[in-house]
Structure 1
């Protein structure tokens, strides 16, 4: 039976590491100050942003393992499980952790917008690899939050801390955007695999039992979280993954119509539940109905 550390509050993790918190809802931990530490497999009830400078450990998160080397950031959200089960081994870590309870966001704009930071749902093998400059920015932000937490609490402190948290998240987003760009070659390889996956899906007639392919299906087959996959496709093509799938399907619709098949036959063949669904998607993407498209074909 796995021994899981339940982190309902930031203090649960701090107590485990022997770190004293200054705030009930926010914790900034400098791993160098609490090392050596024992591993823990954590069930999170809080948000966490973890980065280690250098460590030789395998961490399990969701369905993937991650070999932590130098300068990697992992973000977790309430309801997720991650880390490594305590096996009695002690490890020396340098790096930082920022944990914050959802309650600190109450009433702040970030309470509503935090769901837009899709990297909280990335898999562990989709972690952010920092450049030296990015690493220094993170360290500087952690030190500033820690310094603020050590000040006497006043009515503005929580607002200032939430401002810092938002800044950390925006830098995470910027650095991920940079990573998507620097991994363009890898991304173009994924695009080719995406195209090949769609082609095989229809050639193997999976649409007849599963319907039109979904982003989740494609991401799973390419061993990615749907969020990371969607963000990567958006960066690579300027379009959403779901739109990319729709465009692919519509191209197949046009090919079938051009070969003389009826709209009903095409809808059946390509996995649409009803011909109206095909017509609606076609009109939305092409600006005309399949019937109008067929009329045009017959006149050309």
Structure 2
């Protein structure tokens, strides 16, 4: 099969992998890829209406946006509903495939504490190139969580089933947060290069703004320039510097504003426009929030 596939329901997952005969829960599924015989053709684009956590131990690539990414052995990716990936399968058959997939519909967690916490699991917004690379011990910990969910799905459904499944999913996601934290630490050298890139880009950008460039750089702009997703970049910077991407942008912006205020007689409105603000009042508000003074108060006191 090829083209575009949108997996709307959990049942659609079982149809995709030709597992229709398997009895399944309507809102959550665990798939053992070693038992999957259906081959997904190169170029197939897939999106889903649910959260997806994929761990694999077979060679394949996926295309996310314009990037071709080697989804390496022993790596894990998490995708939020409606993200799109493109398969580029370099296996000649499904023989020897190994790994698992956890799929859960937003309705499963709606009204639970986990639903409120999902925004904290920022790795669901990472690109596939920012996959979590697991140690053997970490693989086993996540597998144990998966087996607990699978066991619960095979039991007779009772009043405790949803709470147990949801709490185990939350446990798995908490482990993913911990393991991503470890990955940020073990990749400190490459992370430091990213921090240096960010500083260089922002310095050049706001030097340009001081001479009249009228575009306020966004988190998305900055992430694209360092070839990372906005979520991953923000988490990386937070881990390395204690400040997220927006904080870094604001630091450089305020420094540029201070330099212009003290070295020129430009009206505050013109300074705001030169820095990329469409409305001077937004600049005034941000400047006071960050410095405790209005731009005019800062100028008059220095």
1:23 is matched with: 25
Q: Give the CA deviation at 1:90.
A: 1.9
Count of paired positions:
295
Q: Give the CA deviation at 1:276.
A: 3.4
Which whole-Å CA distance do the structure 1 matches of 2:157 and 2:81 have between them? 26
Please tell me whether the aligned partners of residues 52 and 79 of structure 2 are also in contact (alpha carbons under 8 angstroms).
yes
Which whole-Å CA distance do the structure 2 matches of 1:173 and 1:87 have between them? 30
Question: Residues 240 and 86 from structure 1, CA distance in 2 versus in 1: closer, same or farther, beyond 3 angstroms?
Answer: closer
- The answer to whether the aligner puts 1:117 opposite 2:113 as a matched pair is no
Which whole-Å CA distance do the structure 2 matches of 1:205 and 1:67 have between them? 38
2:40 is matched with: 39
Question: Residues 39 and 2 from structure 1, CA distance in 2 versus in 1: closer, same or farther, beyond 3 angstroms?
Answer: closer
What does residue range 24-103 of structure 1 map to in structure 2 within 5 Å?
A: 24-34=26-36, 36-39=37-40, 41=44, 42-53=46-57, 55-84=58-87, 89-91=92-94, 92-103=96-107
The superposition leaves residues 97-135 of structure 1 with CA deviations (integer Å, 9 ceiling, x where unpaired) of 111122211322222322332211111101111122111
Which whole-Å CA distance do the structure 2 matches of 1:267 and 1:106 have between them? 43
Question: Residues 256 and 130 from structure 1, CA distance in 2 versus in 1: closer, same or farther, beyond 3 angstroms?
Answer: same
2:286 is matched with: 281
Q: Give the CA deviation at 1:68.
A: 2.2
TM-score by length of 1: 0.89
- The answer to whether the aligner puts 1:220 opposite 2:221 as a matched pair is no
Question: Residues 16 and 262 from structure 1, CA distance in 2 versus in 1: closer, same or farther, beyond 3 angstroms?
Answer: closer
Question: Residues 108 and 233 from structure 1, CA distance in 2 versus in 1: closer, same or farther, beyond 3 angstroms?
Answer: same
Please tell me whether the aligned partners of residues 4 and 85 of structure 1 are also in contact (alpha carbons under 8 angstroms).
no
The superposition leaves residues 15-39 of structure 1 with CA deviations (integer Å, 9 ceiling, x where unpaired) of 33233243121111122233x4412
2:7 is matched with: 7
Moved more, 275-284 or 143-152: 275-284
Please tell me whether the aligned partners of residues 48 and 82 of structure 2 are also in contact (alpha carbons under 8 angstroms).
yes
Please tell me whether the aligned partners of residues 64 and 124 of structure 1 are also in contact (alpha carbons under 8 angstroms).
no
Which whole-Å CA distance do the structure 2 matches of 1:223 and 1:204 have between them? 22
The superposition leaves residues 133-184 of structure 1 with CA deviations (integer Å, 9 ceiling, x where unpaired) of 1111011111111111111111110111111111111111111121112222
What residue ranges of structure 2 are gaps of 5+ in the alignment? none
- The answer to whether the aligner puts 1:150 opposite 2:151 as a matched pair is no
Which whole-Å CA distance do the structure 1 matches of 2:277 and 2:117 have between them? 35
What residue ranges of structure 1 are gaps of 5+ in the alignment? none
Moved more, 187-196 or 200-209: 200-209
Q: Give the CA deviation at 1:277.
A: 3.1
Please tell me whether the aligned partners of residues 210 and 275 of structure 2 are also in contact (alpha carbons under 8 angstroms).
no
Which whole-Å CA distance do the structure 1 matches of 2:282 and 2:75 have between them? 44
TM-score by length of 2: 0.88
What does residue range 263-278 of structure 1 map to in structure 2 within 5 Å?
A: 263-264=267-268, 265-278=270-283
Q: Give the CA deviation at 1:268.
A: 3.8
Question: Residues 200 and 150 from structure 1, CA distance in 2 versus in 1: closer, same or farther, beyond 3 angstroms?
Answer: same
Q: Give the CA deviation at 1:206.
A: 9.7
Computed over aligned residues only, the root mean square deviation of the Cα atoms, in angstroms, reads: 2.4
Aligned pair partner of 2:178 in 150, 174, 193: 174
